[in-house]
Amino acid sequence: MAAIADVSTGPRQAGAEPKAWHAAAADDVLAALETSAEGLTQDEAARRLRAGGPNQLPATARQHPVLRFLAQFNNALIYFLLAAAVAATALGHVVDGGVILAVVLVNAIVGFVQEGKAEQALNAIRDMIAPHAVVVRGGERHKIDARDIVPGDVVVVEAGDKTPADIRILRARGLTADEAILTGESVPADKTEEPVRDDAPLGDRHSMLFSGTLVPTGQAMGVVVATGASTEIGRISNLISEVATLTTPLLAQINQFGRWFTGFAIMVAAALFAFAMLFRGYDAVDALMVVVALAVGAVPEGLPAVITITLAIGVRRMAARNAVVRRLPAVETLGATSVICSDKTGTLTKNEMTARHVATPAGLTEASGSGYAPDGALADPKGGKPADDPVRDDLIRAGLLCNDADLVELDSAWSVRGDPMEGALVALAAKASLLPDAEREAWPRVDEIPFDAQHRFMATLNREPGGGARIFVKGAPERVMSMCAQEAGGGPVNTQYWQQRIDDAAAKGERLLGFAVKPAGPGVERLEFGLVETELTFLGVVGFIDPPRDEAIRAVAECRSAGIAVKMITGDHAGTAVAIARQLAIADDPRAIEGTELDGISDDELRKVAEEASVFARATPEHKLRIVRALQTNGHIVAMTGDGVNDAPAVKQADVGVAMGRKGTEAAKEAAQMVLLDDNFASIVAAVHEGRTVYDNIRKVIGWTLPTNGGETLVVVFAIIFGLVLPMTPVQILWINMILSVTLGLVLAFEPAEPNVMQRPPRRRDTPILSPFLLWRLAFVSLLFTIAVLGIFEYATRRGYNVETARTMVVNTIVVMEIFYLFNVRYLHMTSFSLIGAAGTPAVMTAIAVVVVAQFAFTYAPFMHALFDSAPVGLADGLLIIGIGIVTMIILEAEKVIMRRLWPSAWRAA
């Protein structure tokens, strides 16, 4: 024990291998920590506080705002555009440089604002440390700031307290601890001072109380063995800090595409610059400005900003569905999700115990309703009203009286004050038409034996309304039956019958309590173990379940129809988890694996297991991390939902983490990228729907931007190579990009979902942004624009128009064609020739109106003539330009039909 004694100087270092305090005898623990049941002296406590530091978790180091703002420029496209802006300004083309720089700054500001609250998970966990605690120092009790607790302090906890540190229990009486935030277990764990085996999992360390957990019942005295970062909650904090934030699939593809495209554009621009000077006699400055304008026209400079805005619009839509996104890219990522790893307690289930079945010697009765609301009724499992059963009525009354819980209604929501299973028994009594307060007043309690893990039952002595007294007992069925001499109705306890009931309940994932009764003899005022442990009459058992949410069942079914697998990862027992999985229909035949089995599986083997298993039971935070990583290694885009501290590391590791807003801890919320305000699993399906719609719209933005930019670029390249007069000046190219990228390019972000968006399988992680169909579109539309632009320029030249008028007609032709192409690209998976397609959305019509006004100014306003060298265009020529747009639309719609028939695979991937 000498090695452990070093801990007395202060908390262990975060991340160190924890000692087996739970397996050591209480006296050995006290000796190792150099303390006693009388506690530390004030001087010794102060010395240890100075040596080991306060009982709190370290705050996350925050990135300086300036560095975070500069990080927004860390993108290949942005680097190129900044270089282009500098070059244009240096050559005296201030308008050109200003337009480019404005787009870059807007993109940076939006990103800076949206990511301002990132990386707060550790600070949220720190808030879960109890603010005050009662300690014994020098044999006297003191209430102190929990931050001043040190290893070796003796702490007193009572029902309702939050555990201030990791504590080895010295004495306990009726003690339970709600460890759902650490283990996912929905029922409070029984606690005792007896040591447990050294390799006991976290949920079975009954001799320990862990920092941040709640104490629903009982009281205890224990010695602090770990504080701050050395506690179990602190260890989870370390796990979170070790998880790197992942780049979403879309951003990874955008960055990769940006690097490739920028390099390609620079090479083409350099070659074109040399060609223009060497073979076409261009002046160096003129050649450079043409090349800069050409490169800016080719590079989708507005793409990052438009994608950011598209994601932001998705965030707004999702907020209307009670899903708050903390980071913009999570919207798109959730739409690509192929696996959802969900915690069970409070996420798929209500985290509210419900008494579902009552079994007596006469048969089985079912109780409707769920949670703690006293709504519902008793029924025969086969249908109809239940048969009269006096024994059932006595059992339900026994469950109400041998009970310390109360139900509380606040804002139309019912909750329990006390043990969840006892709260479920109070609700059961109300469903059986008993009035809890009236019954307890009519049957006043005289004495009790609180529940204890050692004797595994609770007993109360109650006065009967008509005189006399009765003893009620509840506890583990096997324990209660062993105390009974008979069962209700006469005859010995039918162990075979009851074992079958117990097995049936276990198959349904139910937890059981047994009930018994005994008349109290005359003059009995106190309960003794010898009095209640014999000659009882067994009444029956009640089966409890933490029921699945009704909406979760529908949501899981919708996920499966969308090709999304659902994995349940929980700290609960396998039997309970599998039963819930079957009710949710997570899989046709859910396969379960326990955490202890995962310990013996390598990471490579886990990849296969993670695919095949649907339920992972008794899982620790480390297990959850390994499972998520294994699925990601298999190529899945993984979403992880959760509400407890135990979920936070895996929530952060996942491609998109989803936390529950009502019952979720702050730690889970801050680790997540999205928070569900209504704790409704069905909101995840709505989020997937919106995510897929957002990705569709981003593809539409790309499918509109690149071909139109390609058309502008190809026109200039063609003119330089063949020695023709440039159809557009550099500043006119920039005008087209400026006026269209912030109008027509943006409105595609507002597009509603196309039909059957949830009937498509999830896209693969490595699916390219530019699908084969979009690549074809890039080439086909660019060529179409080139032919039309050169054609209109040649038409104007042959009509004797000056070059300013011809170039103005070219600019207007490009704008009109892009408007008609916008209507075509709004529906990638269906024809645009429909009433809805022709009408457009309000955003589309508003953008077109803005573009029309801008083009009228460009064409007819004298000050625009001075800035852009434009000139007026006649009515007949204007109608000709509109006719070219209509023909473009017809050609592209015909191309849709042909491609859908000749190249269906590429069409589906569009």
Alpha-helix runs per DSSP H in 826-861: 835-839, 842-860
Strands 339-342, 565-569: pairing kind: parallel
**What one-character DSSP code corresponds to residue 23?**
G
Rounded to the nearest 5 percent, the helix, strand and coil shares of the chain are 50, 15, 30
DSSP string, 399-435: HHHS---EEEEETTEEEEES-HHHHHHHHHHHHTT--
The secondary element (H helix, E strand) that includes residue 472 is strand 469-475
- Identify the CA nearest to 710 among candidates 772, 784, 806, 771: 784
Location of structure tokens 């409890």? 544
- Identify the CA nearest to 885 among candidates 842, 846, 839, 848: 848
Location of structure tokens 């000749």? 902
Q: Which residues contact 248 (CB under 8 A, 6 or more apart)?
A: 329, 330, 332, 333, 655, 656
Measured distance CA(39)–CA(568) in Å, rounded: 44
Q: Which residues are catalytic?
A: 343
CB 720 within 8 A of CB 276: yes
Location of structure tokens 């589906």? 908
- What are 465's two structure tokens? 């309304």
Q: Which residues contact 64 (CB under 8 A, 6 or more apart)?
A: none
- What are 762's two structure tokens? 């999830």
- What are 243's two structure tokens? 């998880």
3-state class (DSSP) for residue 44? helix
3-state class (DSSP) for residue 225? strand
The amino acid at 606 = L
Measured distance CA(13)–CA(817) in Å, rounded: 66
CB 498 within 8 A of CB 541: yes
Strand-pairing partners, residue 675, are 324, 659
Measured distance CA(186)–CA(132) in Å, rounded: 26
CB 524 within 8 A of CB 447: no
CB 750 within 8 A of CB 774: no
Measured distance CA(708)–CA(815) in Å, rounded: 9
CB 312 within 8 A of CB 324: no
The amino acid at 449 = I
For 105, phi then psi, to 5°, come to: -70, -40
Give, in order, the Cα–Cα distances in Å from 32 to each of 27, 237, 252, 630.
Answer: 9, 26, 52, 40
* CB-count burial class (<10 Å; 0-12, 13-18, 19+) for 126: buried
- What are 156's two structure tokens? 């007193």
Give, in order, the Cα–Cα distances in Å from 442 to each of 102, 436, 504, 526, 736.
Answer: 78, 10, 35, 19, 85
Q: Which residues contact 83 (CB under 8 A, 6 or more apart)?
A: none
CB 431 within 8 A of CB 374: yes
Q: At what angle do helices 574-584 and 495-507 cross, to 10 degrees?
A: 60
Measured distance CA(354)–CA(368) in Å, rounded: 9
The amino acid at 200 = A
